[in-house]
A and B are shown apart, each in its own frame.
Chain A
Amino acid sequence: MVALAQARQDALETRLAALALPEGGGWLGAARREALARLTAAGLPGRRDEYWKYTDPAALNAAEAAPAKVFVADDEAPGFGAIDRLRLVFVDGVFDAERSDDPALAGVEIEQLARAGQADIHWARDLYGALEARGQKPVARPLATLNTAFAGQGVLIRATGRAAKPVHLVYERGSEAADALLHHCIRVEEGAELTLLETGAGAARLQTVMEVEVADGAAFHHIRSQGRDHERRMVTHIFARLGRESRFKSFTLSVNGRLARNEAVLELLGDDAVAHLAGAAAGDGDAFHHDDTVFVTHAAERCESRQVFKKVLKNGAVGVFQGKILVTQDAQKTDGYQISQSLLLDGDSQFLAKPELEIYADDVKCSHGSTSGAIDETALFYLRARGVPLADAQALLVLAFLAEAIDEIEDEAIADEVRGKLEGWLARRKG
């Protein structure tokens, strides 16, 4: 036990030695120092932690990012190209103002985290690190705390009405070894509505935290596509707090990459709130490891939450789903739903699922399910008997399997973009 504690301490010290608290004091500096203290107490995640049983955090804990080849996606149109949106470009985790659109155009307040320390942005001050800190219980998420302490880049977005257009965070890669920490804070005020898009791998190792406050009657839509780089690693955290009659919807498309751990921690605090989380992932090869870890807390009445996660795995790819719905004693009439499914295209791939329900209220409707299966041979033959070649038939069935998650996207035009993207990727993969 002592040896283990010592090993953890050493790992933390090695990691911290490679990092420096960003410049800029004020309220942000204080929040960062506070996070550093919390991180020092918690330590980095280890393989023995229950929440890291299926995913090895070593590459995320390492002092330096392992180099990852930059994937040049010159064979396709830029993500969400057909959507009228406001682009904010980050290269290797650093904001590139010249290549970004004028932030004023979206009709929302946008500020760069790098400049936020000097300004007294009171709403961000209440949010930065606050939701992340709340999200440490009952399960510690030290990598998010590390992000709060050391992230020097990110955006602060506040919507006070219906945003004129979606805000699109474009994560580009420049070098093979970049290690990026991005921290975003988003506040959607009462009755306001905002759509946030994210695309790209961002860095050899990308670590993002997004704290989202969705006020009463507000709506937040989040759609991201995590890029095609084969060697990149990433860990993302979303912490969201939902007010009365608010709506929160998040969808993630993920293909390729060595490691992706996407965590979402949602708290439904106001009555009649709705939260949907969905993910579609496709992985090929034994280097692929994709992990969705979700924690939804129902703490108010008549709220609805929905989790739909689908993964297609082949050639030794590994998929993980850890999803929890916690219903507190007062959260009567909760409607909770969770489904995680994998399509294993061969015998070498693996899907590890840990669905959990913890319910303290007595008048709730909660269901969860998890399945793993091979491609439906009967459907495959039916398609082939109609003239569809084997590879096309497989791609069609894979797409159909993932479609259920994509269907969770509310905006039809955006859903079509995601579908088109995935279709293109599957078509290229066949060859």
Chain B
Amino acid sequence: MLKSPHLLGIKDLDEESIQLIVKTAKEFKEVLNRPIKKVPSLRDVTIANVFFENSTRTRLSFELAEKRLSADTINFSASGSSVKKGETLLDTVNNILAMKVDMLVMRHASPGAPHYLSKHIKANIVNAGDGTHEHPTQALLDTFSLQEKLGDLAGKNIAIIGDILHSRVALSNIYALKKQGANVRLCGPSTLIPKHIQSLGVEVSHDVQSTLQWCDAANVLRIQLERQQIKYFPSLREYALTFGINRKMLEELPKEIVLMHPGPINRGVELSSDAADSPHSIILDQVENGVAVRMAVLYLLAQRQ
């Protein structure tokens, strides 16, 4: 059983819990490959997917996971809500919970928004991404996908390449990977690497080529222009030339590496199309595993109720 009633981030999750979620996800993945993909585990549990920020794959993935578990689901997005009329986050959520909702899957642009809510509400909260802070289910599905390819991650070299400064995927992955004993190297323009990130026990590089040579797997991140309130580099063209990865670079490596991306891909920027579609890529496996991991998280949290 998980130790916390919420999944707010990987920071407060121990390795045992990470492995429990992955193990449970493996079982659900097996279920998802059966002709009848639905299990009754969360029958009579109502889950609200509350998204204050745009999302396609994460929201669909959660919704599908909930439906596969037989939960009742309701969806809420900020654009069609009272938020625009000035309602506070707490009021909005309390109104939803008053309709007898048991669990909340929330995405919000403010770092710490689910942590703030967790101090005020009783329902289980799953953080589906809070601004530039954490995206725990993404890191868990990345762990699951990596383990499928590389086995135990202890001692493995994992690179995270791109806009680290604005990435919740990077931070959650760093926590998850370090807890499993992996070596983590971050690579990107120096302006997009947090200055104190080495305190998390990671290496920093600004050279993509040597980073690719070093790693067993590269998790390539999107340039998050929507989160960049000020300029960090001259242009996407220059970024693609300096930090973009193409298939030729992958094929010239002395060993085959695993290529990951949390999506959506900016083709031609961080990844060329031929790299994204190469045999190195497990990008669609990540998407598939996402449903199983989210089923596992929801199932394990519901067990605490």
Q: Do A and B bind each other?
A: no
Question: Residues of A at under 8 Å CB distance from B?
Answer: none
